[in-house]
Amino acid sequence: MPRYLPILVIQEASREPGTDAELRDFEAELAVYLSDFGAGFEQPRMVIYPEFHLCGASGTPEQRTAQLEAAAEPIDGPRDRHLTRIARDLGIWLLPGTVCERDEDGHLYNAAPVYSPQGERVAAYRKCFPWRPYEPFRPGNRFEVFDVPGVGRVGLAVCYDIWFPEVVRQLAWLGADVIVNQAATSTCDRAQEQVLVQANAIFNQVFMVSANAAAPSGEGQSLIVDPEGHIRAQMPGATPGILTDVLNLDEVARVRTFGTAGVNRMWSQFQENDPILELPMYEGRINPRQWQRGP
């Protein structure tokens, strides 16, 4: 059976931090989107919002930090319980955008939670590369993937993460077929980011989904890229809007089997008797016997 993943990418500006009233408005608006774009699908939709969608902050770095401090909650706090219920009631995979998490250690983290149609939080990735010095967050220290049963594996990367090629490479090695990149890029480098989205798809032969915030929170231009680097769908500007697509995750296996453009098969590059390639920058190595993707 084909492995189809229907998705909605919501390009919107950030909202005020998630009060009960704001979350009710969020749920009502999402229900309308699903009635317009999700009707008739047996497979649950995956709905993807940009970074900071429910945790907007603006102003100087000091002002932003104060707003984020005020909005911070534990990952399993009241906001989490609302989002769990919303995903269950609407029967969707919900990626509501990143939230400001305060851990027991007292630090703030830029966390990307994921909720299943059964109303479970199945992942919560902490951004490993905060955009410094503008973001006051402590970096995360692990990569995160989750499974959509019967369909495939999804990896998480937040905004600036994709400027570091190690992130998507590691997620691909962990078995991700799709990388979701939630962003709130409001600067003039969104053009370069779009190139990086395509490049990461090409390097790793994965689908890339980049959801950026609409104005005034971001420069928009959200896009979906296939495992050969072709743009499948794209928002033309920074105005609010929705991208819809159905990804066939079997395309990942096809591209890796026959090569990008029928030529390049990077995941089949090494043979077992090839020498180990030392990576002194990482105090690590590429071992040909470990090059194939993980489980």
- The H or E element spanning position 78 is helix 78-90
Domain boundaries, the chain: 4-263, 265-295
pLDDT digits (tens, 9 = 90+) for 38-70: 666 677 899 999 999 998 777 777 887 788 888
Q: Are 3 and 176 in contact (CB under 8 A)?
A: no
Whether the ω angle into residue 236 lies within 30 degrees of 0, i.e. cis, is no
**pTM beyond 0.75:** yes
Pick the CATH number of 4-263 from 3.60.110.10, 3.40.50.1700, 3.80.30.20, 3.40.30.10: 3.60.110.10
Decide the pairing of beta strands 284-286 and 207-212: unpaired
Average pLDDT (185-209) is: 97
pLDDT digits (tens, 9 = 90+) for 11-43: 999 987 766 778 889 999 999 999 888 666 677
Question: What percent of the chain has a predicted confidence (pLDDT) above 70?
Answer: 97
Whether the ω angle into residue 133 lies within 30 degrees of 0, i.e. cis, is yes
Q: What is the C-alpha to C-alpha distance for residues 235 and 84, in angstroms, rounded to an integer?
A: 29
Top mean pLDDT of 15-24, 168-177, 278-287 is at 168-177
- The H or E element spanning position 146 is strand 145-148
